[in-house]
């Protein structure tokens, strides 16, 4: 919608996890280092936690894009399952076979698959996203899977990714055996103000746009209303760009962000973010048009754009026809040059210029082989 207006290749602020737009803040660099260390050790559990929308899934997808080809990965997203259901999900993700209802047979199937891959020099990893939703039964099943051993190291390594509730769940005394097997853990927190500003500029640049499209004051307002949560930053920035496009604003200022945050206040509160977006405007505060007016302005702009596109299409057709006509004239030009029609020759002479006053063409000297330059210079 607003991409062409702001010179962007694509929308830079979406809530879909995109490793190409991962801004590696100091926090994300540390989190990635812990993941690499834990997987490099090849033993124990690796745990990554963080609040909603802090970029955990994006970081995992970034990691998957850099995992060696000699690694088999089972990525599990559906975590509201029992232990037996989780085991069947893992077998299907590894494509180790079609699991049945017999748990012992399923374990044997997975074990045989892992031994075969281990003998081929491959490494198997299970990544469980939204792991805070796993029941104690499912977490215990994961712990038992880590008991599958090769000659020198486990056949299987597990990465648990989840919200802060996962840390509290792993602290339960009934899961002590699992907690003691964790070799690397990191908690991903929200972005600080400087990190949020760099994050916004980075994503704009990645989309081919002006990294300074938002004023410093606007970025400060975005950080305040989003509490530094990357997902909320994306939502606010995307909505601000839509508003800016509707109002034909070349730069996004803080008043646009305040208006967007005010309209999105219920959603921001539902994410546990403290915001002053719903406060009444003070005297002298400029209140931007309401949503209906903005939508009307946006529809008018879209109509104008459609008319321009239609006009461009008509111009393109006319240019194509003119180009075809020029090509036809170019093909016929040599014939006309050999035998010019008398009427055409007279038409080329301006009527006010007497024919006898036209200078006679200079007599062309005969060309001699190799003597063109001598004739040219006299």
209 token code pair: 């746009």
The distance in angstroms from the start CA to the end CA of the chain is 67
Q: Is the pLDDT of residue 335 over 90?
A: no
- Residue 170: exposure state from Cβ atoms within 10 A (0-12, 13-18, ≥19): buried
Q: Is the pLDDT of residue 82 over 80?
A: yes
Which percentage of the chain shows pLDDT scores above 70? 72
**Per-residue model confidence as pLDDT tens digits over 161-174:** 999 999 999 998 88
Supply the pTM of this predicted model.
0.69
pLDDT of residue 309: 52
Which percentage of the chain shows pLDDT scores above 90? 52
Average pLDDT over residues 118-122: 89
Q: Is the pLDDT of residue 239 over 50?
A: yes
The answer to whether residues 231 and 53 touch, using CB atoms and an 8 Å cutoff, is yes
| pLDDT category of residue 270 using cuts at 50, 70 and 90 | low
What is the fold of 26-188? Rossmann fold (3.40.50)
Average pLDDT over residues 212-233: 96
Cα distances (Å, whole numbers) of residue 245 to 15, 198, 241, 287: 20, 23, 6, 18
So where are the chain's domains?
26-188, 193-279+286-294
- Of 246 and 342, the structure prediction assigns the larger pLDDT to 246
Any idea which of 43-52, 124-133, 150-159 has the lowest mean pLDDT? 150-159
Question: CA gyration radius for the chain?
Answer: 35
């Amino acid at each position: 919608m607003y991409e062409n207006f702001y010179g962007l290749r694509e929308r830079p602020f979406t809530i879909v996890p995109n490793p190409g737009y991962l801004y590696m803040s100091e926090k994300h660099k540390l989190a990635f280092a812990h993941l690499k260390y834990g997987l490099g050790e090849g033993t124990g559990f690796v745990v990554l936690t963080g609040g909603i929308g802090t970029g955990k899934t994006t970081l995992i997808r970034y990691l998957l894009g850099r995992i060696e080809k000699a690694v088999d990965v089972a990525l599990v997203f559906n975590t509201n399952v029992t232990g037996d259901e989780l085991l069947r999900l893992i077998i299907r993700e590894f494509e180790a076979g079609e699991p049945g209802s017999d748990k012992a047979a399923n374990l044997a199937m997975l074990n045989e698959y892992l031994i075969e891959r281990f003998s081929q020099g491959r490494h198997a990893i299970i990544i469980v996203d939204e792991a805070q939703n796993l029941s104690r039964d499912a977490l215990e099943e994961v712990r038992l899977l880590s008991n599958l051993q090769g000659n020198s190291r486990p056949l299987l390594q597990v990465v648990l990714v989840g919200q802060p509730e996962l840390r509290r769940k792993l602290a339960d005394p009934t899961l002590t055996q699992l907690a003691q097997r964790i070799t690397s853990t990191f908690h991903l927190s929200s972005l600080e103000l400087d990190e949020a500003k760099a994050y916004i500029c980075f994503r704009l640049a990645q989309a081919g746009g002006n990294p300074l499209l938002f004023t410093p004051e606007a970025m400060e307002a975005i950080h305040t209303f989003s509490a530094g949560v990357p997902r909320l930053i994306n939502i606010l920035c995307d909505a601000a760009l839509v508003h800016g496009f509707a109002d034909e604003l070349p730069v996004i200022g803080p008043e646009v962000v305040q208006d967007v945050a005010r309209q999105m206040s219920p959603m921001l509160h539902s994410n546990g973010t403290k915001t002053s977006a719903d406060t009444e405007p003070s005297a002298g505060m400029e209140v931007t048009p309401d949503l209906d007016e903005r939508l009307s302005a946006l529809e008018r702009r879209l109509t104008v754009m459609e008319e321009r596109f239609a006009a461009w299409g008509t111009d393109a057709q006319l240019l194509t026809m003119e180009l075809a006509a020029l090509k036809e004239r170019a093909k016929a030009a040599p014939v006309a040059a050999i035998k010019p029609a008398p009427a055409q020759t007279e038409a080329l002479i301006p009527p006010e210029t007497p024919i006898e006053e036209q200078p006679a063409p200079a007599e062309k000297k005969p060309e001699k082989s190799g003597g063109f330059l001598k004739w040219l210079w006299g």
